[in-house]
């Protein structure tokens, strides 16, 4: 089985995010599994995203279980809902969590509503 976390971070660096073109900052994810912590550092620089395995200081540090993070990056769990349930510990700038949310995939099976709206298929 492929590693969804590594796949997510590999995919995120090959995409330009126009929704992030006005912002810059860093988020470090500390993923815990079996008494071991793995760190991923995501840097957002005006729409470009880079990722490294460095464990250095960041604008926002997010600590959570590795299995939960895998569900989040697959679109199966919501990062804010997990934070509200105290499954995520956050230190630093909360708005960085919103920036991370913008690069996440939608739920499995979700479709982009814009083509449906353009065809006029939306009804009340």
Residue 45: its pLDDT value, please? 87
Q: What average pLDDT does the segment 22-26 reach?
A: 88
Average of per-residue pLDDT across 19-39: 91
pLDDT in tens, 72-89: 999 999 999 999 999 999
For the CA atoms of 121, 110, 19, 44, what is the dihedral angle to 10 degrees?
-170
Cβ atoms within 10 Å, residue 79: 21
The pLDDT tens digits for 37-75 are 999 999 988 878 899 998 899 999 999 999 999 999 999
Q: With contact defined as beta carbons under 8 Å apart, do 25 and 96 qualify?
A: yes
Arithmetic mean of pLDDT, 1-17: 82
Residue 88's pLDDT is what?
95
The CATH number given to 4-118 is 3.30.1050.10
Q: Where are the domains of the chain?
A: 4-118
Question: How much is the pLDDT for 123?
Answer: 60
The reported pTM is 0.81
């Amino acid at each position: 089985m492929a590693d969804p976390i590594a796949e997510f971070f590999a995919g995120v660096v090959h995409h330009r995010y126009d929704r992030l073109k006005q912002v810059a900052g860093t988020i470090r994810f500390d993923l815990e599994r079996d008494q071991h912590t793995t760190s991923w550092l995501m840097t957002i620089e005006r729409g470009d995203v880079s990722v490294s395995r460095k464990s250095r200081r960041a604008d926002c540090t997010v600590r959570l279980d590795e299995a939960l993070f895998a569900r989040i990056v697959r679109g199966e769990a919501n990062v804010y809902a997990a934070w509200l349930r105290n499954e995520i510990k956050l230190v630093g700038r909360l708005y960085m969590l919103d920036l991370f949310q913008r690069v996440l995939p939608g739920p499995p099976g979700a479709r982009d509503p814009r083509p449906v709206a353009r065809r006029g298929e939306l009804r009340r």
